[in-house]
């Protein structure tokens, strides 16, 4: 099962590798990206960033959906990490079973703040991205904002109203 889908510019880093992976007791961390999965250097570095005992994979959206929709994935505990809302929407459209938690944690600072609105201290969205999350929410894919397990859960819908 997919324990969480996390949106994070920094992909596999301390908060993901050390904190969430322990909290959720995951056995797989899967970075889903059509661009990064084609970059051998980035793939190799991400695989080395996985903590001991957890296997990391870097898959394209289509490949990830195919693997995650396989019945054998039911017994795995998976943490998905993505850094692009468009690809998040594409992946969610293809998944037969939705992730237990949809979390946006760190986003928008790497791509550049120009034209982005500050949603929280660590989330900056463009108009187009706000629209993507509103459409996802209407389809029932409700995101929360919770960078760390000890942080309060804030519904993204509510943050976007403000």
Partner 1 sequence: MSRKIYFISHNNFAQGLKQAVEMIAGKQDNVTALGLMPGGDPNAIIKTIEADITDADEVLILGDLEGGSVCNAAMRLTIKDNVTLVTGSNLTLALQVVLDSDPTHLDHQIEQARTGLKRLKLKVSSNQDDNFF
Query: Contact positions toward partner 1, by CB under 8 A?
Result: 14-15, 18-19, 22, 28, 37, 40-41, 43-45, 47-48, 55, 57-59, 63, 67, 70, 72-73, 76, 148-151
Shortest spacing between CB 98 and partner 1, in angstroms = 19
Which C-beta is closer to partner 1: that of 51 or that of 142? 51
CB of 31 to partner 1, least distance (A): 11
Measured torsion, CA atoms of residues 37, 38, 42, 45, in degrees rounded to the nearest 10: 60
**Closer of 48 and 140 to partner 1 (Cβ):** 48
CB of 57: closest distance to partner 1 in angstroms?
A: 5
Distance (Å, whole) CA 55 – CA 37: 15
Q: HEC profile for 12-37?
A: CCHHHHHHHHHHCCCCEEEEECCCHH
Q: Which is nearer to partner 1, 152 or 161 (CB)?
A: 152
Nearer to partner 1, 41 or 140 (CB): 41
Please list the active-site residues: 13
Q: How far is the CB of 155 from partner 1 (least distance, A)?
A: 20
- Between CA 134 and CA 143 the distance in angstroms is 10
């Amino acid at each position: 099962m997919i324990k969480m889908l996390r949106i994070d510019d920094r992909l596999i880093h301390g908060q993901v590798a050390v904190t969430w992976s322990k909290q959720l007791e995951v056995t797989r961390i899967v970075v889903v990206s059509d661009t990064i999965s084609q970059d051998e250097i980035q793939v190799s570095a991400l695989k080395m960033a996985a903590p001991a005992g957890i296997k990391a994979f870097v898959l394209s959206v289509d490949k990830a959906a195919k693997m995650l929709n396989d019945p054998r994935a039911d017994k795995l505990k998976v943490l998905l990490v993505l850094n692009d809302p468009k690809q998040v929407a594409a992946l969610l459209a293809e998944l037969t079973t939705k992730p237990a938690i949809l979390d946006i944690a760190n986003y928008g600072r790497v791509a550049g703040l120009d034209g982005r609105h500050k949603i929280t201290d660590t989330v900056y969205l463009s108009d187009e991205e706000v629209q993507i999350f509103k459409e996802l929410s209407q389809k029932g894919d409700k995101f929360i904002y919770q960078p760390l397990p000890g942080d309060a859960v804030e519904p993204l819908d509510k943050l976007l109203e403000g």
